[in-house]
Amino acid sequence: MNILVTGGAGYIGSHTLIELYKAGHTAVVVDNLSNSNPESLRRVAELAGIEQVPFYKVDIRDREALEKVFSQHKLDACIHFAGLKAVGESVEKPWEYYENNIGGTLVLVDVMRQHGCKNIIFSSSATVYGDPAQIPITEQCPKGTCTNPYGWTKSMLEQVLTDIQHADPSWNVVLLRYFNPVGAHPSGRIGEYPNGIPNNLMPYITQVAVGKRPQLGVFGNDYPTPDGTGVRDYIHVCDLASGHVSALQAIDRCCGLAIYNLGTGQGYSVLDMVHAFERVNHVPIPYTIQPRRAGDIATCYSNPAKAEAELGWKARYGIDDMVRDSWNWQRNNPDGYPC
């Protein structure tokens, strides 16, 4: 299939491109580069053994530019990663988040339907479960109250895509709820380099390891978890990427609308991650215990059985691979991609 990958220059998009090429698909990338660097696409081409990734520097809110891409390529499906994703920033700039994530998706979906491309895989998040009603979280678990505008954009866009599919059953919509993506391609050539101070645990740990930050702050050690620190379902980004290819291969038989958790089913605490990083990479990670972070929940991990049963997908990488590959990327690219 020929796939439109929005946000394909970003962290998860770039890893997914490699899996798409591996599976024999082709891709066209649109990205406005607001949170990425086109060097990622050059490296994807190198890793995939192709000359170059077809790329358009296009903002998905720009209808005319998107129309042009659709008129130049016959596209079978879209994997839609493009969006803003910083939780804290979304609290400061809610309008920008709703306008970019929701406004952009509405334009994208309209252009898709006008060109008869009605297959979409959407990057959703475990954040839509809010403080989950049950652990491990199955897809039947009710959606909850999000604690920030970013989370609401995911929750609302799930509803938007669901309603569009109900109104026009010729759409195939797959909502993938990611748990906590970490790691990088084992080559160390592509990975994640957040702007400014990292919000997420793993990039913070790798920046402490490489000497950019003096120590990690562990946000709370009084949660009702085995060691008191927050528990999450960390998933290697290459596993996440292959989940998209599995979803794509099943898109025709997914009965119009399908929702899958993409996680490992295994919860690890903050200190489990710190200690695994130190053990595997032989690098100390100094830390101090700090107060809880507003909006955090104690425990969040998936039941990924539905994706295995229906897509034949399950995570293959373990915690040692995740911390090894995160570090391999960071130490080989201490400042991210060159500008």
Q: Catalytic site residues?
A: 150
**Contact between 125 and ligand NAD (CB under 6 A)?**
yes
Question: By CB under 6 A, which span of 55-63, 122-130, 308-316, 324-332 interacts with ligand UFG?
Answer: 122-130
Instruction: For the CB of residue 228, give the shortest distance to ligand UFG in the complex, in Å.
Output: 11
**Contact between 249 and ligand NAD (CB under 6 A)?**
no
Instruction: For ligand NAD, give the closer residue by CB, 228 or 337.
Output: 337
Closest CA to 177 of 297, 256, 258: 258
Instruction: For ligand NAD, give the closer residue by CB, 103 or 256.
Output: 103
Question: By CB under 6 A, which span of 30-38, 177-185, 304-312, 313-321 interacts with ligand UFG?
Answer: 177-185
Instruction: For the CB of residue 326, give the shortest distance to ligand UFG in the complex, in Å.
Output: 12
Instruction: For ligand UFG, give the closer residue by CB, 279 or 293.
Output: 293
Instruction: For the CB of residue 122, give the shortest distance to ligand NAD in the complex, in Å.
Output: 8
Encoded one letter per residue, x for contact with ligand NAD by CB under 6 A and - for no contact, window 258-297 reads ----------------------------------------
Question: By CB under 6 A, which span of 119-127, 206-214, 317-325, 329-337 interacts with ligand UFG?
Answer: 119-127
Residues near ligand UFG (CB under 6 A) are 85, 87, 125-127, 178-180, 199-201, 204, 216-219, 230, 232, 270, 293, 296
Residues near ligand NAD (CB under 6 A) are 6-7, 9-13, 30-36, 59-61, 81-85, 100, 104, 123, 125, 178, 181
